[in-house]
Amino acid sequence: MKGDLLWLSSVLLLLPGAGSCPEKCLCHTSSKSVDCSRQGLREIPSELPPRTQILHLQHNHIGDVPTSAFSRTPLLRTLDLSHNAIFTLAPGAFLGLAHLQVLNLTQNSLHSLESKVFQSLPQLQELDLSFNNIQELPEFKGDTLSHLTRLAVQKNQLQQVHRAHLASLPSLRALFFKDNLWKCNCHLLDLKLWLESFVYKGGITDGVICSSPDIWKGKDLLKIPYELYNTCLPLLGKGGPIQPQLPGTAQQDPPQPSHAQEQVDQSRSDCEFKPKARPVNLRHAIATVVITGVVCGIVCLMMLAAAIYGCTYAAIMAKGHGEPLSHINEPGRPGEERGPLSASLA
Ligand SMILES: *[C@@H]1O[C@H](CO)[C@@H](O)[C@H](O)[C@H]1NC(C)=O
How close is the Cα of 1 to the center of ligand 1, in Å? Answer: 30
Q: Which atom of ligand 1 is nearest to the CA of 59?
A: 5
Which of 37, 54, 56, 80 maximizes ligand 1 atoms within 8 Å of its Cβ, making it the mutation to test the pocket?
80
| pLDDT band per the 50, 70, 90 thresholds, residue 235 | low
Please tell me the distance from the alpha carbon of residue 23 to that of residue 21, in angstroms, as a whole number. 6
Taking residues 2-10, report their average pLDDT: 48
Which of 82, 84, 126, 151 maximizes ligand 1 atoms within 8 Å of its Cβ, making it the mutation to test the pocket?
82
How close is the Cα of 96 to the center of ligand 1, in Å? Answer: 23
pTM, two decimal places: 0.66
Identify the residue with better confidence: 325 or 296.
296
Residues 16-64: pLDDT tens digits? 445 689 999 999 999 999 999 999 999 999 889 999 999 999 999 999 9
Domains in the chain, CATH or no CATH each: 21-181 (3.80.10.10)
Strand locations in the chain (E): 26-28, 33-35, 54-56, 64-65, 78-80, 88-89, 102-104, 126-128, 150-152, 174-176, 204-205
Residues 287-314, buried b or exposed e (16+ Cβ, 10 A)? Answer: eeeeeeeeeeeeeeeeeeeeeeeeeeee
